[in-house]
A = this chain, B = another copy of it.
Amino acid sequence: MYNFTFYNPVKILFGKGQIANIAGEIPTSAKILVTYGGGSIKRNGVYDQVVKALAGHNFMEFGGIEPNPRYETLMQAVELVRRERVDFLLAVGGGSVLDGTKFIAAAVNFLGDPWDILAKKAPVTSALPMGTVLTLPATGSEMNTNAVVTKWATKEKLYFSSPLVFPKFSVLDPETTYSLPPRQIGNGIVDAFTHVAEQYLTFPANSPLQDRMAEAILATLIEEGPKTVQNPTDYDARANVMWCTTMALNGLIGVGVPQDWATHMIGHELTALHNLDHAQTLAVVLPSLLTWQKQQKREKLLQYSDRIWHITDGTAEERIDQAIAKTRDFFEAVGVPTRLSAYGVDTSTIPTIVQRLDQRGMFPLGERRDITGDSVEQILALCA
């Protein structure tokens, strides 16, 4: 096991009716900005629950944060926060609203151009406190320090991370997800599954507890994911998937082990160029990346084949191929296609993707730092 530091002070309020308890988590004197997305929270009752819970608090709102939240939009919120002297942010929505709100929190008091936080990894030195009400289980943003933001003008999708943007609290009420379209539920399952894969399908580092905890999440997603797609109001299935998505990226399964993240970096470029959903890019890239890295990831892929898919027949090579095929089938089964062609995307932008990753200084990628521009070309060719 490698040395590690683990720290995660996010308070999780999980379950039915927990929105009613947010007032106790926010200073009574706070001037709050409630941030949200396209307005679904006004149709499904979540907005009303939040307003009721905030009775007696001083709050205003900022809606319209897009999927793949746009820098341009978020900077409008930053101006509003500065103008109105807001001192607490409450993000109500999915990963995009949460990520966007983390950026607002970090940008408000940033000296200089806030774009540098993303483009130049300029260190965040202060951030407004924030809380979240999660309505779309997927990204893990509710319990981590990460945020991904897109500059629409240049189609750049970049991330930053800072312990200063840990939410003070996050409400996870599975009932708020009942009204989500199946596409978003499937996406969430694929997103969480891939988060685990990026921290687990690498090389062995003598960390059996982390391995088994990663496998615990994968097995539960495989068991509960299809149930929750088929029956949106199965409370327990939805609760179990929601808790899996949080646990997949709150730092715990990644302590002391090698990590990959190449699938995410390649996927971000596919979203930026072709506007695919984040999870769609992961469903496309992960099976191809695993195929291309069969030798490098051999031992963990065999463990995955055995413990997750219970594959016993065939040579080692065949068992690995079957496990990758099962992964692809699982993504398709929860409604997320795994081929670029299914999204009407051809391979003509591969050179652009490689060039953009290169410009960002991303190479080499992967847990062994052996994925170069040539590798990405070959991986993307397998995604066709």
Closest to A163 in B: B11
Residues facing B in A172-228 (CB within 8 A) are 206-209, 212-213, 215-217, 219-220, 223-224
A14 and B244: CB pair below 8 A?
no
Given A4-B15, A12-B7, A15-B3, the answer on whether A209 and B220 have CB atoms closer than 8 Å is yes
Copies held by the complex:
2
Contacts of A13 in B (CB 8 A): 5
Given A7-B12, A213-B216, the answer on whether A1 and B236 have CB atoms closer than 8 Å is yes
Q: Is A240 an interface residue (CB 8 A)?
A: yes
Interface of A is mostly: mixed
C-alpha spacing A15/B15, complex, angstroms: 35
Q: How many chain-A residues does the 8 Å CB contact rule pick out?
A: 40
B6 and A255: CB pair below 8 A?
no
A239 and B1: CB pair below 8 A?
yes
Contacts of A18 in B (CB 8 A): 3
B12 and A6: CB pair below 8 A?
yes
C-alpha spacing A31/B71, complex, angstroms: 46
Closest to A174 in B: B1
C-alpha spacing A163/B216, complex, angstroms: 28
Q: In the assembled complex, how far is the CB of residue A278 from the closest CB belonging to chain B, in whole angstroms? A: 23
The 6 sampled A-B contact pairs (Cβ below 8 Å) are A6-B14, A8-B8, A14-B255, A206-B240, A208-B240, A243-B255
- 6 interchain residue pairs of minimum CB distance: A3-B15, A212-B216, A9-B9, A7-B11, A206-B236, A6-B12
